[in-house]
Amino acid sequence: MQVSVLRKVLDANDLIAEENRKEFDAHGCFVVNLMSAPGSGKTAILERTLRALDGRLTAAVIEGDVMGTLDADRLLPLGVPVVQINTDPLFGGECHLDARMIRNALSALPLDGVDVVFIENVGNLVCPAEFSVGEDRKVMVLSVAEGEDKPLKYPLMFRVSDLLLLNKTDLLNYLDFDLPQFRANAAHVNPGLPIVEFSARTGQGFERWVDWLLREVAERRGRCGAI
């Protein structure tokens, strides 16, 4: 009974995600769904990424938070269009973005001429992995402060992701984080998952991430041109 209800919710979500997908395609936008636990550094990564892309790609951002506009406020000085979604109105708020929330946000986000849309999901390693929103790629962030066991405890998030940014590597000297064990745990769940050792603070791994974005956007253009 509970299973069939959940299945219906996810099926309904997928239909709306497909509509979003068509709208993004119509504007030629490459869309990244950026997911992580709270405080892994998604917004810091976006700040640095938007600066690095300036003049190379035109970006827009959809910010998802239970409450408030803190993350959107941080990005406003960068001059990139930002729409904030708050999932809060009911009780404690929804713990993830779904396709309908993105659909509603799109009415406020001009997509003409936008190359890449970053969707910063609510901080949570469980439910965001279950709800597609019409993205091209799911990118997850894990902070090394969270521990090397996370792939085994939150497997779906690691399984659905196309790229992992292993953030805050500048803290590795002060933690017991076991990097080889983490790589083994991640490979156990998703053997094909590329892992970028990353620091939004020092810039480690940043070039590889920006190269990945530029390549994905170019490939997407190629696919659209071929249609």
Q: Given the rule CB under 8 A, which residues bind a copy of itself?
A: 2-3, 6, 10, 37-39, 65-68, 70-71, 90-95, 122-127, 129-130, 143, 145-147, 149-150, 152-157, 168, 170-171, 174-175
Residue 14 Cβ, how far from a copy of itself at the closest point, in Å? 12
Q: Which of 75, 131, 74, 79 is nearest to 103 (CA)?
A: 131
Please choose, from the candidates 127, 97, 90, 110, the residue with its C-alpha nearest in 3D space to the C-alpha of residue 33: 97
Residue nearer to a copy of itself on the CB measure, 53 or 205: 205
Least Cβ distance, residue 103 to a copy of itself (angstroms)? 16
165: left (phi over 0), alpha (psi -120 to 50) or beta: beta
* CB neighbourhood size of 223 (10 A): 11
Nearest residue (CB) to a copy of itself, 108 versus 126: 126
Q: Which residues contact 11 (CB under 8 A, 6 or more apart)?
A: none
Shortest Å, Cβ 68 to a copy of itself: 5
C-alpha 50/C-alpha 58 separation (Å) is 9
Residue 198: C-alpha distances to residues 21, 41, 46 (Å): 29, 11, 13
Q: Which is nearer to a copy of itself, 80 or 125 (CB)?
A: 125
For the bound state, the minimum distance from the C-beta of residue 55 to a copy of itself, rounded and expressed in Å, comes to 28
| Minimum CB distance to a copy of itself, residue 189 (Å) | 10
For a copy of itself, which is the closer residue by CB, 115 or 146? 146
Q: Within 13 Å of residue 112, how many CA atoms lie on the same side as its CB?
A: 0
Tell me whether residue 114 or residue 125 sits nearer to a copy of itself (CB atom).
125
For tokens 């480690």, the residue is: 204
